[in-house]
Amino acid sequence: MAELLKRLTEARGVTGNEDEVRGIILELAAQSGAEVSVDRMGNVIARRPGRTGGKKIMLAAHMDEVGFIISSISENGMLKFKPVGGIDQRILLSKRVRIGKDGIPGVIGVKAIHLQEPSERNTVIKQKQMYIDIGAHSREEAQKVVEAGDYASFDSSFTPFGDNKVKAKALDDRAGCAILLELLKETYDFDLIACFTVQEEIGLRGAEVAAWHVEPDMAVVVEGTTCADIPDVPEHMYTTRMGMGPAISFMDHSSIADPKLFQQMVETAENHSIPYQIKEAIAGGNDAGSIQKSRGGVRTIVVSVPCRYIHSSSSVMDLNDYYNTIALVKEFLKGCETR
């Protein structure tokens, strides 16, 4: 499973340019025996017909990741850029990136501290002051390999480290995509439709289209979520805790969980001795916000893998949380056959 995570997280798929990761998911979803298609929005829809049919349960995880888009090329060959999705500008300096379909290497830079005014050293450098250096000495040279409108993603490798931890970019939400691919290997009484959605990071756009076409009876969203169990953060602001199991959400800024599904997910974890936690904050949002409002409404529940430092080049996840999320959703789906 770690190889699956490595392949998915190292693929580039900034919001609106998910082609590379979509190709991998199409390949792997088809191998599971699912009926695979791509809608006009670019979502991958993988259908696993049930033994008896009837009820339709939707799984959702988004393929896209935060990143950048090249906005202009300066005369000296430096690239100006804009963020795509929510990125903390304080983490950008000196980060390596890959640009365009050929993955041209670059580094995010700004003028050296020696050249900054004293007032500049005491403030956060803004993204608009930064540039991407690809080693070109002129606009003409840069334009041979890069052009305005090209996407750029963090250049970061998947790395196991510490006590069963992994570091990678895009764990939000390639972890969810990997979990859906594992769940597609199972057959249930009902029809299972796994939706690998696009453009979540800029407004839950792909999920809105996918849910409209699938028209599910209920939906389970699998997400990578904020984990803030780090020094200098009060415990009441941890949101989730790494190593404590999948986080079940009762509410966030985009949706409110169906109370019965929330209770059923908790009972599933307890009945099968699967570690779990309740997400302790309502910050953020995910595809459930669009799915829940689709057509006449869809009952939804969100289960998340805690990830430190999300929306950065180096997110961190505990593999035990990842495996327990697979186990929890799998048992929950089995329970849906008798409900």
- Name the pLDDT band for 275 (thresholds 50, 70, 90): very high
Same domain, 178 and 255: yes
* Mean pLDDT value across the chain: 92
In a domain, 85, yes or no: yes
Q: Label residues 85-112 b or e (16+ Cβ within 10 Å = b).
A: bebeeeebeebebbbbeeebebebebee
| Residue 289, CB-side half-sphere exposure with 13 Å CA sphere | 18
pLDDT band at 304 (very low <50, low <70, confident <90, very high): very high
pLDDT band at 337, cuts 50/70/90? low
Residue of 239, 210, 234, 235 whose CA lies nearest to 310: 239
Instruction: Verify that 188 and 322 share a domain, yes or no.
Output: yes
User: In the numeric block, which tokens belong to residue 288?
Assistant: 């459930």
Residues 122 and 84 in one domain: yes
Tokens of 280: 């302790």
Backbone angles phi, psi at 169, to 5 degrees: -85, 165
Question: 185 with 273, same domain?
Answer: yes
Residue indicated by tokens 């298609």: 37
Burial bucket for residue 332 (CB in 10 Å: 0-12, 13-18, 19+): buried
pTM of the full structure = 0.94
Active-site residue flag, 200: yes
Residue numbers of the domain that contains 126: 67-154
The amino acid present at 83, given as its one-letter code, is P
Highest-confidence range of 30-39, 50-59, 103-112, by mean pLDDT? 30-39
Q: Quick one: pLDDT at residue 116?
A: 64
Residues 36 and 128 occupy one common structural domain: no
For residue 192, give the 3-state DSSP assignment: strand
**What per-residue confidence (pLDDT) applies to 336?**
87
**Residue of 18, 200, 208, 223 marked active site:** 200
Domain total of the chain: 2
Say what percent of the chain tops pLDDT 70. 95
Q: What is the CATH number of the domain that holds 96?
A: 2.40.30.40
Residue 301 lies in a domain: yes
For the segment 20-27, the average pLDDT, to the nearest whole number, is: 97
Distance of CA 333 to the CA centre of its chain: 22
Q: Are 24 and 71 in a shared domain? A: no
- The pLDDT, as a whole number, for residue 151 is 97
In this structure, the dihedral spanned by the alpha carbons of residues 216, 217, 222 and 223, taken in order and rounded to 10 degrees, is: 80
Q: Is 219 among the domain residues?
A: yes
Q: Which of 85-89, 131-135, 152-156 is the least confident region?
A: 85-89
Name, in order, each residue with C-beta under 8 angstroms of 298's C-beta and a sequence gap of 6 or more. Answer: 58, 211, 216, 217, 218, 219, 291, 292
Which CATH number do you get for residue 174?
A: 3.40.630.10
Q: Are 300 and 218 in contact (CB under 8 A)?
A: yes
Q: Is residue 136 part of a domain?
A: yes
pLDDT tens string 319-331: 999 999 999 999 9
65 within 8 A of 172, measured Cβ to Cβ: yes
User: Has residue 86 been placed in a domain?
Assistant: yes
115, 17: one domain? no
**DSSP string covering 118-174:** HHHHTSPPPGGG-EEE-S-SSHHHHTTT--TT-EEEE----EEETTTEEEES-HHHH
Q: Are 71 and 23 a contacting pair, CB within 8 Å?
A: no
Span 27-49, average pLDDT: 95
Confidence of residue 52 (pLDDT cuts 50, 70, 90): confident
Same domain, 206 and 318: yes
Any domain includes 161: no
Distance in angstroms (rounded) separating the CA atoms of residues 220 and 311: 22
Nearest CA among 91, 88, 21, 60 for reference residue 254: 60
Q: For residue 59, give the H/E element and its range.
A: strand 56-62
Q: What is the pLDDT of residue 123?
A: 76
Of 116, 110, 112, nearest to 132 by C-alpha is 110
Which residues 6+ apart lie within 8 Å of 234 measured at CB? none
